[in-house]
C-alpha cells in the first residue's frame, strides 16, 4: 500500500488543482478537435499541446530558475536572495520585492538562482528565446503566408 501511495504522490496527481484539471480537459478537447475532427489542426494542435505541457502538475516546465528556487523553499537559499533584495527571507516578501525591483536586479536574481543549481523549465526557455525576443510571431506569419494558396486569386484576379 505504501508503494501505491508513493506512486500516486510521485505522479503529481495529488497536487492537481481545479484550474489545472479544467485546463487539461480543455487542452485534450483542443487536441481531439485538431486530430480526430481535422478542425484547424495547424492552430489547435500547438495550442492544445502547449496547454497540456504547461498544466502538468508539479512538473515545473513553465517555471524560471528563480521561480523554481522559490517553489523549493530552501531556507538558506531564500536567505541569500532576501539579503540581496533587502527583504525578509519569506517567499511572499521576496516575490513582492522582485515585483518592485528593476529588471536588472531581477536578471541578477535569476542568474543567482542558476548559479545555485536551478534550471528553467523547457517552456520558460522557449518563451525567452522565441516569444520574448519577438522571433516567434515572425516565423508564424511567414509559415502561414507560405501555406496560403494564392491559386484562386491568380486564376480570377477581379
Quote the pTM value.
0.67
pLDDT in tens, 130-148: 888 999 888 888 877 777 7
Q: Are 74 and 66 in contact (CB under 8 A)?
A: no
Coil, strand, or helix at residue 112? Answer: helix
Instruction: Say whether pLDDT at 152 is over 90.
Output: no
Q: Are 106 and 98 in contact (CB under 8 A)?
A: yes
**Residues 6 or more apart whose Cβ sits within 8 Å of residue 67:** 124
Cell of 123: 517552456
**How many whole angstroms separate alpha carbon 88 and alpha carbon 78?**
9
Count of residues for the chain?
158
For the ranges 37-41, 61-65, 89-93, 141-145, the lowest mean pLDDT is seen at 141-145
Coil, strand, or helix at residue 56? Answer: coil
Overall average pLDDT of the 38-50 stretch: 89
36 pLDDT band, cuts 50/70/90, is very high
151 pLDDT band, cuts 50/70/90, is confident
Give the pLDDT confidence score for residue 30 in this predicted structure: 96
For the chain, what is the mean pLDDT? 88
Overall average pLDDT of the 79-94 stretch: 94
- Tell me how many degrees the CA angle 127-36-144 measures, rounded to the nearest 5: 45
Identify the DSSP state of 121.
-
Nearest CA to 120 among 69, 51, 56, 55?
Answer: 69
Give the pLDDT confidence score for residue 146 in this predicted structure: 77
Instruction: Say whether pLDDT at 124 is over 80.
Output: yes
Give the pLDDT confidence score for residue 87 in this predicted structure: 94
114 pLDDT band, cuts 50/70/90, is very high
Give the pLDDT confidence score for residue 1 in this predicted structure: 79
Amino acid at each position: 500500500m505504501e508503494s501505491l501511495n508513493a506512486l500516486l504522490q510521485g505522479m503529481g496527481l495529488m497536487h492537481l488543482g481545479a484550474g489545472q484539471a479544467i485546463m487539461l480537459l480543455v487542452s485534450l478537447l483542443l487536441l481531439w478537435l485538431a486530430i480526430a475532427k481535422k478542425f484547424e489542426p495547424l492552430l489547435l494542435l500547438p495550442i492544445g499541446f502547449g496547454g497540456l505541457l504547461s498544466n502538468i502538475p508539479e512538473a515545473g516546465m513553465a517555471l524560471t530558475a528563480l521561480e523554481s528556487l522559490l517553489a523549493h523553499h530552501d531556507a538558506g537559499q531564500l536567505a541569500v536572495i532576501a539579503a540581496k533584495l533587502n527583504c525578509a527571507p519569506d517567499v511572499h516578501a521576496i516575490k513582492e520585492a522582485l515585483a518592485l525591483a528593476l529588471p536588472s536586479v531581477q536578471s541578477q536574481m535569476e542568474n543567482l538562482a542558476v548559479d545555485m543549481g536551478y534550471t528553467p523549465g523547457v517552456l520558460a526557455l522557449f518563451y525567452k528565446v522565441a516569444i520574448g525576443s519577438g522571433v516567434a510571431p515572425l516565423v508564424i506569419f511567414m509559415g502561414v503566408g507560405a501555406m496560403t494558396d494564392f491559386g484562386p486569386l491568380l486564376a480570377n484576379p477581379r
